[in-house]
A and B are shown apart, each in its own frame.
Chain A
């Protein structure tokens, strides 16, 4: 089990709002093996970012982790003091945030910003730090790295800014990189370049990567394992090929069928009926029961657990209670 860089066990993160307690992350368990890319996929508001923020210790009021454990390389970091967590961030684990423009300082050159990250965590001279910045810029495919060192964020294209973010996250060689929608704002040709870069980083540096996305195509393209989330819960998890070849959960099936395919011509698209329920007013039974085509009486009353249909393939649906669906 020590192979896992990160283990999230039964994590519950809630927001204590004036209107009630909002279960943003509800009993989520995720394992990140060394040197693998793990995808967390799901629609807006399903808890992808808050799972990541819980791991990084960056939840803001009124949100907090109410139970569960987070183990980084076997060490329990769930209850670390903010100061101790800050030491881990950027060094042991780092994150690329969903809004790239807000996470770079507009008035400092990108080179200096990456340099600061090094100086914060390691004792080395400025010259040496600069050398390493230029090296990492080269590694993440920033052309004319030396010239780019002195560029300000607004002088770079979206794709280059994202590479700077990746450089900053990777420069201290963390064991875990969390990338929250790293390509959503980018064009397909640039997205493809960045995805290639993630694969290369995984293969060449052995970094484990959590890739948060709402795009099933991105998952299929680069992830080794996938977790499908809905309303704060993991609905289905499996190795990527298994998930696509043997999709079990009605929600995952619905998602995959809703996407227009390049390979077939259809007149109408499949739709999952209805909308995602308000997290403050979740149905009594299965969270997906209000939209599910296979919903039965029991689903309206009881909550399904994650049932194992095959080794490593788990599904939160009563249809899978006795193994495969």
Chain B
């Protein structure tokens, strides 16, 4: 079955429609806002890994947190399993909250240093379930087995573990309430390569065992290639392109996607290219984002219309691209 067919059979677990998120900032007297997420439309299919990629500050973490309502959105709609959760009151939302968890980049900062491993993993269980003492420890030990932390370490504190082990503890905590969706916000970025591969394998195994859906945030396109079924490329708060991983890497349609892929340093000197086409310039400010297509100030293909009009959403098979002049057309 091709990925497209698989996707057709799968249902959307989480859908965002015209989602917005802004952060107010004070620039002198003027009240302005960081346009962190602007008019985002996307669906997470049950059981898939959708990667969110893009450069620092483009809004990946903000989008991830807004989708699972750690942030309140400033416009648009979020559907979880068909139910509109955008403005649900806390009591109504509680059963949904347990189904959506998040793992953070920094395994050092995201664990309470004064709690031992047992307390960290059991905390969500205690607030949401009425387990007996035995049931509780049984569940905690089971989770520790699951992520590969030896049971005898239950009484140790975070500082006694390596980065990779701390990330495993964070994963165990996220798994405790049997979530259906996990937002993985740069889960391996702080880890050494040899440890990174261990954690990536673990995430894949867990997904298979529990049919988890991942929103996998990363700026490492090699890692994304390994883990993701589909990729969503963002630039300055807006989506550039969404597509099946292989196809998107093979044949990017948005110019920005192509530049990102070109910039990856490849671990093979034989592939060293003398003249790389590199993107020039810096990322513009999200406070006063460029008009029209937000990428137009850096885009070598930009024409007048690009600074005037926001590119429409174009679809081609299961590919979605927001560009006035997608690369595919130029070639055909």
Contacts and interface: CB of A to CB of B under 8 A. Distances in A.
Interface in A246-297: 254-256, 258-262, 265-272, 275-276
Given A44-B192, A262-B221, A262-B264, A271 B276 contact: no
A77 B260 CA distance: 43
Interface stretch (A16-24, A55-63, A154-162, A311-319): A154-162
Contact of A262 (B201, B219, B225, B282): B225
A221 B201 contact: no
A31 interface: no
Interface in A212-235: 214-221
Given A188-B263, A217-B264, A260-B200, A196 B276 contact: yes
A244 interface: yes
Nearest to A268: B201
B263 A269 contact: no
A49 B19 CA distance: 44
Interface residues of A, number: 46
Question: What's the dominant secondary structure at chain A's contact region?
Answer: helix
B197 A261 contact: no
B1 interface: no
A101 interface: no
B114 to A, nearest CB: 23
Interface in B232-279: 246, 249, 259-260, 262-272, 276, 278-279
Contacts of A244: 267-270
How many chain B residues sit at the interface, stated as a range, is 35 or more
B193 interface: yes
A261 B265 CA distance: 11
A291 to B, nearest CB: 8
B265 A214 contact: no
A214 B280 CA distance: 25
Contacts of B249: 262
Contact of A193 (B198, B227, B271, B278): B278
A99 interface: no
A43 B266 contact: no
A258 B269 contact: no
A192 interface: yes
Contacts of A43: 192-194
Contacts of B265: 188, 191-192, 195, 215, 217-218, 220-221
Contacts of A245: 270
Given A191-B265, A221-B266, A265 B246 contact: yes
Given A258-B194, A275-B162, A189 B55 contact: yes
Contacts of B227: 260
B192 A214 contact: yes
A188 B269 contact: no
A193 to B, nearest CB: 6
A190 B279 CA distance: 8
Contact of B201 (A195, A219, A220, A271): A271
B223 interface: yes
A256 B193 CA distance: 9
Interface string A175-193: 0000000000001111111
A275 B164 contact: yes
B194 A271 contact: yes
B231 to A, nearest CB: 13
Contact of B269 (A192, A241, A260, A261): A241
Contacts of A254: 194
B222 A262 contact: yes
B112 interface: no
B198 A271 contact: yes
A189 B272 contact: no
A240 interface: yes
Interface string B191-215: 0111111101100100000000000
A188 B164 contact: no
Contacts of B198: 271
Interface string B159-190: 00011110000000000000000000000000
A164 to B, nearest CB: 13
B108 to A, nearest CB: 12
8 contacts: A43-B193, A187-B283, A191-B263, A196-B278, A221-B266, A245-B270, A260-B197, A271-B198
Interface of A: 43-44, 143, 157-160, 187-193, 195-196, 214-221, 240-241, 244-245, 254-256, 258-262, 265-272, 275-276
The 3 closest A-B pairs by CB, nearest first: A217-B265, A260-B226, A269-B197
Given A188-B55, A188-B221, 15 more contacts: A188-B265, A192-B263, A217-B265, A220-B272, A221-B265, A244-B269, A245-B270, A258-B194, A258-B197, A259-B267, A260-B226, A260-B227, A261-B225, A262-B264, A269-B201
